[in-house]
């Protein structure tokens, strides 16, 4: 059924016409994004080409260790990237690293254990990349929100601590809101999927010539896996990172910027 | 001795907030007065361990303050901050939360009466209270924990003269009715004289 799609570099280059259109809109409306658009285009080309060759090598080698090494690099890089968006949270790197590692391990472990995918590079690399990427975004959004919430609500948190509440009790409403904002985007997009937009995997499979029902089923498996991984990552990142705002004596630390 | 501070210093950023402070606070009612920025609020925060000094020692009832469990200490030495910060919900749910933390039976009407609020305030949502009512709800919430010491940070700063008189009458009545020590921060020397027996001057 499946017929592979082959694109030449010239065809990829033709798509640059749309990048030029984006840059022209930016120039015309003075949004000052032309430089960023150019950097994004160049980076996406270099990064995706490099990862394309890396994945090809990993597929050819067909060993689980190389797959795990690639996933580990993605997790570490994801934790660094997410930390950049969580500057107001002290010591955010370790909670993020633990959150992304656990989300990736649990989600991939489950889809393999349930017999949905085989434990081979062809499945684990692309699915792992999606899981880690979405978990990174969700935990970055959640920690960014947590940092804002805590810095805006210092008086309320200290008033609760002053009653003899634990740090966990004083932070609970803000951790809850941060967790919600980390997961809500994916929940909302999952609700509207198929109605307002077609998710990437399904589009890719349809373009590659797969049967629509197969494309839909694979997309559903991935959406459900992503929901799980996003929830795990945001839960762990917020649940571990809030502690860093407090001392061992349940005192709110001075602002961290 | 209720509190004993020896050579207590605290720096925040570039600023020396407290510099080698020695002070003794006896049971009863004590006022802490001084100009803005003299470290009055910081002193209260040190007394219930929302912050620790950089140097020096603080003792509570002749034991080092840091030898107490900080959570138990805060339920015993209750701080009412200057800015009212109640939890979302009703006045009663705030009182119940505080009483629950301290493991005390809640007498809503009694706490409200002590804080100068009518019993019908129990069901009122905190978002619908005036600033003065919030400040008194904060006081009622602290009283729900049945503390031994009440630390009050400018309890009448946001109030008009009528509301201020009501809170002052409440505090005088509390001293008479409950076995409670007060440490009151105020920038108003007259108020300090009206409400307390001793005055500590900072700055």
In angstroms, the separation between the Cα of residue B172 and the nearest Cα of chain A is 23
The more confidently predicted of residues B105 and B159 is B105
Kindly identify which residue of chain A lies nearest to residue B47, measuring between CA atoms.
A162
**Would A236 be classed as within a structural domain?**
yes
Least CB-CB distance to B50: which of A156, A166, A251? Answer: A251
Closest CA to B134 of A44, A156, A99, A197: A156
Contact B74 A159 (CB under 8 A): no
The two most distant CA atoms of chain B are separated, in Å, by 48
A121 contacts A58 by C-beta, under 8 angstroms? yes
**Would A251 be classed as within a structural domain?**
no
Domains in chain B (CATH in brackets) are 3-201 (3.40.50.300)
**Would A254 be classed as within a structural domain?**
no
Interface test with A, best of B70, B102, B149 (most A CBs within 10 A): B70
Contact A159 B81 (CB under 8 A): yes
**Would A46 be classed as within a structural domain?**
yes
Tell me, yes or no, whether A209 and A109 share the same domain.
Answer: yes
Please tell me the least confidently modeled range out of A220-229, B36-45, B170-179, B180-189. B170-179
Q: What is the structure's pLDDT at A257? A: 55
Tell me, yes or no, whether A4 and A45 share the same domain.
Answer: yes
Structure tokens belonging to residue A206? 């349809």
Q: What is the ipTM score, two decimals?
A: 0.91
Contact B52 A249 (CB under 8 A): yes
Asked whether residue A57 carries a pLDDT value surpassing 70, the answer given is: yes
The packing angle between helices A212-241 and A121-152, to 10°, is 40
**Would A80 be classed as within a structural domain?**
yes
C-alpha dist (Å) from residue A193 to A179, A212, A222: 22, 15, 12
The more confidently predicted of residues B135 and B92 is B92
Interface test with A, best of B42, B45, B51 (most A CBs within 10 A): B51
pLDDT tens for residues A104-117?
999 999 999 999 99
Q: What is the structure's pLDDT at A4? A: 64
* Domain C-terminal end among A61, A84, A112: A61
CA dist A135 and A82 (Å) reads 10
The more confidently predicted of residues B155 and A136 is A136
Q: What is the structure's pLDDT at A256? A: 64
Structure tokens belonging to residue A36? 């960023």
Tell me, yes or no, whether A43 and A72 share the same domain.
Answer: no
Residue B174, φ and ψ in degrees, nearest 5? -60, -45
Total structural domains within chain A: 2
Asked whether residue B182 carries a pLDDT value surpassing 90, the answer given is: yes
- From chain B, pick out residues whose CB is under 8 angstroms from the CB of A163: 74-75, 78, 97-98, 101-102, 141-142, 145
Tell me, yes or no, whether A18 and A71 share the same domain.
Answer: no
pLDDT tens for residues A81-97?
999 989 999 999 999 99
Contact B75 A164 (CB under 8 A): yes
Q: What is the structure's pLDDT at A255? A: 82
Helix (H, G, I), strand (E, B) or coil at B111: helix
pLDDT tens for residues B63-114?
999 999 999 999 999 999 988 889 999 999 999 999 999 999 888 998 998 8
Alpha carbon B43 to chain centroid, angstroms: 11
* CATH code of the domain in which A104 resides: 1.20.1640
In angstroms, the separation between the Cα of residue B137 and the nearest Cα of chain A is 13
C-alpha dist (Å) from residue B32 to A134, B23, B75, B195, B203: 54, 11, 21, 12, 11
A209 contacts A5 by C-beta, under 8 angstroms? yes
How many helical (H) and strand (E) elements, i.e. helices and strands, does chain B have? 7, 9
- From chain A, pick out residues whose CB is under 8 angstroms from the CB of B52: 249, 251
Tell me, yes or no, whether A170 and A134 share the same domain.
Answer: yes
Contact B74 A156 (CB under 8 A): no
**Would A187 be classed as within a structural domain?**
yes
Q: What is the structure's pLDDT at A140? A: 96
Interface test with A, best of B12, B64, B71, B102 (most A CBs within 10 A): B71
* Domain C-terminal end among A37, A61, A85: A61
Closest CA to A164 of B107, B110, B99, B106: B99
**Would A163 be classed as within a structural domain?**
yes
A153 contacts A88 by C-beta, under 8 angstroms? no
pLDDT tens for residues B29-60?
999 998 888 899 999 999 999 999 999 999 99
**Would A250 be classed as within a structural domain?**
no
Tell me, yes or no, whether A146 and A110 share the same domain.
Answer: yes
In angstroms, the separation between the Cα of residue B122 and the nearest Cα of chain A is 19
pLDDT tens for residues A6-48?
888 898 899 999 999 999 999 999 999 999 999 999 999 999 9
Tell me, yes or no, whether A198 and A77 share the same domain.
Answer: yes
Q: What is the structure's pLDDT at A2? A: 46
Q: What is the structure's pLDDT at A17? A: 94
Contact B51 A160 (CB under 8 A): no
Q: Which residue is listed with tokens 């899981």? A: A131
Q: What is the structure's pLDDT at A144? A: 95
Tell me, yes or no, whether A37 and A126 share the same domain.
Answer: no
Contact B85 A252 (CB under 8 A): no
Tell me, yes or no, whether A67 and A163 share the same domain.
Answer: yes
Tell me, yes or no, whether A15 and A53 share the same domain.
Answer: yes
Structure tokens belonging to residue A20? 């030029």
Tell me, yes or no, whether A118 and A238 share the same domain.
Answer: yes
Average pLDDT over residues A56-64: 88
Tell me, yes or no, whether A44 and A168 share the same domain.
Answer: no
* Domain C-terminal end among A36, A61, A86: A61
C-alpha dist (Å) from residue B18 to A101, B45, B77: 45, 12, 21
Helix (H) or strand (E) holding B149: strand B149-153
Contact B141 A163 (CB under 8 A): yes
Average pLDDT over residues B179-187: 90
pLDDT tens for residues A145-174?
999 999 999 999 999 999 999 999 999 999
Instruction: For chain A, say whether B174 makes contact (Cβ under 8 Å).
Output: no
pLDDT band (50, 70, 90) for residue A210: confident
How much is the mean pLDDT over chain B? 91
Contact B97 A163 (CB under 8 A): yes
- For A173, the domain range is 63-245
């Amino acid at each position: 059924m499946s017929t592979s799609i082959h694109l030449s570099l010239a065809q990829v280059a033709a798509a640059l016409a749309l990048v030029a259109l984006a840059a022209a809109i930016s120039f015309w409306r003075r949004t000052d994004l032309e430089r960023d658009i150019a950097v994004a285009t160049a980076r996406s080309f270099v990064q995706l080409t490099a990862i394309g060759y890396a994945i090809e090598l990993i597929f050819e080698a067909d060993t689980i260790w190389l797959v795990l090494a690639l996933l580990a690099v993605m997790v570490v890089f994801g934790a660094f990237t997410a930390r950049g968006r969580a500057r107001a949270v002290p010591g955010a790197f370790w909670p993020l690293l633990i959150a992304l590692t656990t989300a990736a391990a649990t989600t991939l472990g489950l889809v393999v254990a349930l017999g949905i995918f085989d434990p081979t590079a062809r499945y684990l690399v692309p699915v792992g990349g999606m899981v880690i990427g979405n978990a990174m975004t969700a935990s970055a959004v959640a920690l960014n929100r947590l940092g804002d919430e805590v810095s805006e609500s210092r008086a309320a948190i200290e008033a609760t601590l002053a009653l003899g509440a634990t740090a966990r009790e004083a932070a609970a409403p803000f951790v809850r809101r941060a967790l919600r904002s980390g997961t809500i985007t994916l929940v909302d997009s999952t609700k509207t999927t198929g109605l307002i937009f077609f998710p990437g995997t399904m589009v890719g499979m349809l373009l590659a010539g797969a049967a629509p029902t197969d494309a839909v089923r694979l997309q559903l498996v991935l959406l459900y896996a992503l929901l799980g991984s996003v929830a795990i990552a945001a839960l762990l990142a917020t649940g571990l990172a809030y502690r860093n705002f407090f001392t061992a004596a349940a005192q709110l630390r001075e602002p961290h910027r | 001795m209720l509190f004993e501070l020896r050579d207590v210093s605290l720096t925040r950023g570039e600023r020396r907030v407290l510099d080698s402070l020695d002070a003794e606070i006896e049971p009863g009612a004590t006022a802490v007065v001084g100009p803005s920025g003299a470290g009055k609020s910081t002193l209260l925060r040190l007394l219930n361990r929302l912050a620790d000094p950089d140097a020096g020692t603080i003792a509570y009832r002749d034991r080092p303050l840091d030898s107490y469990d900080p959570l138990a200490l805060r339920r015993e030495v209750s701080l009412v901050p200057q800015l009212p910060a109640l939890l979302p919900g009703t006045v009663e749910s705030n009182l119940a939360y505080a009483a629950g933390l301290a493991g005390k039976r809640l007498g809503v009407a009694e706490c409200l009466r002590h804080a100068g609020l009518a019993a019908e305030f129990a069901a009122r949502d905190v978002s619908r209270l005036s600033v003065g009512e919030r400040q008194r709800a904060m006081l009622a919430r602290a009283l729900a924990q049945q503390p031994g010491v009440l630390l009050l940070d400018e309890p009448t700063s946001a109030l008009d003269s009528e509301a201020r008189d009501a809170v002052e009458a409440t505090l005088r009545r509390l001293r008479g009715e409950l076995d409670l020590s007060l440490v009151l921060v105020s920038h108003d020397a007259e108020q300090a004289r009206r409400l307390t027996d001793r005055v500590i001057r900072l700055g």
